[in-house]
Amino acid sequence: MSLGLADGMKVRSRFAPSPTGRLHLGNAWTALMAWLDARQRGGSFVWRLEDLDPARSREEYAEAAMADLRWLGLDWDEGPDVGGPFSPYRQSARMELYAAALADLREQGRLYPCFCSRAELMAVASAPHGLHLEGPVYPGTCRRLDARERAERAQRKPPSIRFMLPRDPVVFHDLAAGPQCFPPGAGGDFIVKRADGVFAYQLACVVDDAAMGITHVVRGFDLLDSTPRQIHLYRALGWRVPWFAHVPLLLGTGGERLSKRDRSVELASLRMRGIRPEQVVGCLALLAGLTDRPEPVRARDLVGRLQLPRLPKGQVALNEPVRKALGLH
Specify whether 85 is located in the same domain as 128.
no
Contacts of 242 (CB under 8 A, 6+ apart): 3, 209, 214, 215, 216, 217
Which range among 137-151, 256-270, 274-288, 295-309 shows the weakest confidence by mean pLDDT?
A: 256-270
Would residue 96 be called left, alpha or beta, if left means φ above 0 and alpha means ψ between -120 and 50 degrees?
A: alpha
Q: Which domain holds residue 101?
A: 95-200
| Cα 228–Cα 314–Cα 31 angle in degrees, nearest 5 | 70
Q: Report CA-CA distances (Å) from 25 to 99, 104, 124, 327.
A: 35, 39, 34, 13
pLDDT tens, position by position, 91-130:
999 999 999 999 999 999 999 999 998 777 766 544 443 3
Q: Is residue 311 domain-resident? A: yes
**What gap in Å lies between CA 283 and CA 26, rounded to an integer?**
12
Residue 58 has pLDDT above 80, yes or no: yes
Domain boundary among 184, 200, 216: 200
The answer to whether the beta carbons of residues 312 and 107 sit under 8 Å apart is no
Q: Is residue 226 domain-resident? A: no
Sort strands 111-114 and 178-182 into parallel, antiparallel or unpaired: unpaired
Is residue 260 flagged as an active site residue?
yes
Calculate Rg over the CA atoms of the chain: 21
Burial call 287-301: b when 16+ CB within 10 Å, e when fewer: bbebbeebeebebee
Specify whether 188 is located in the same domain as 102.
yes
The answer to whether the beta carbons of residues 308 and 176 sit under 8 Å apart is yes
**What average pLDDT does the chain have?**
91
**What gap in Å lies between CA 182 and CA 184, rounded to an integer?**
7
**What gap in Å lies between CA 3 and CA 124, rounded to an integer?**
34
Amino acid 136: pLDDT: 66
The answer to whether the beta carbons of residues 92 and 52 sit under 8 Å apart is yes
**What gap in Å lies between CA 63 and CA 240, rounded to an integer?**
32
Amino acid 177: pLDDT: 96
Specify whether 140 is located in the same domain as 76.
no
CATH of the domain at 173: 3.90.800.10
Closest CA to 135 of 209, 76, 92, 187: 187
Q: What is the pTM of this model?
A: 0.91
Which range among 80-89, 124-133, 200-209, 275-284 shows the weakest confidence by mean pLDDT?
A: 124-133
pLDDT tens, position by position, 224-235:
999 999 999 999
Q: Is residue 23 domain-resident? A: yes
Name the catalytic one among 193, 260, 313, 324.
260
CATH of the domain at 256: 3.40.50.620
**What gap in Å lies between CA 218 and CA 243, rounded to an integer?**
8
**What gap in Å lies between CA 173 and CA 52, rounded to an integer?**
29
Q: What percentage of the chain's residues is helix, strand, coil (to nearest 5)?
A: 40, 15, 45
Number of domains in the chain: 2
Which range among 40-44, 108-112, 185-189 shows the weakest confidence by mean pLDDT?
A: 185-189
Residue 80 has pLDDT above 50, yes or no: yes
Specify whether 130 is located in the same domain as 84.
no
Specify whether 99 is located in the same domain as 181.
yes
Query: Which DSSP helix (H) or strand (E) runs through 220?
Result: strand 216-220
Q: Is residue 301 domain-resident? A: yes
**What gap in Å lies between CA 179 and CA 184, rounded to an integer?**
16
Q: Is residue 47 domain-resident? A: yes
Specify whether 75 is located in the same domain as 117.
no
Residue 1 confidence class, pLDDT cut points 50, 70, 90: very low
Closest CA to 327 of 258, 254, 274, 248: 274
% of the chain exceeding 70 in pLDDT: 91
| Cα 53–Cα 55–Cα 56 angle in degrees, nearest 5 | 75
Residue 50 has pLDDT above 80, yes or no: yes
Amino acid 124: pLDDT: 55
Closest CA to 73 of 285, 223, 290: 285
Three-class secondary structure of residue 281 per DSSP: helix
pLDDT tens, position by position, 243-289:
999 999 998 877 788 766 667 789 999 999 999 999 999 999 999 99
Q: Report CA-CA distances (Å) from 228 to 159, 192, 263, 284.
A: 24, 14, 34, 29
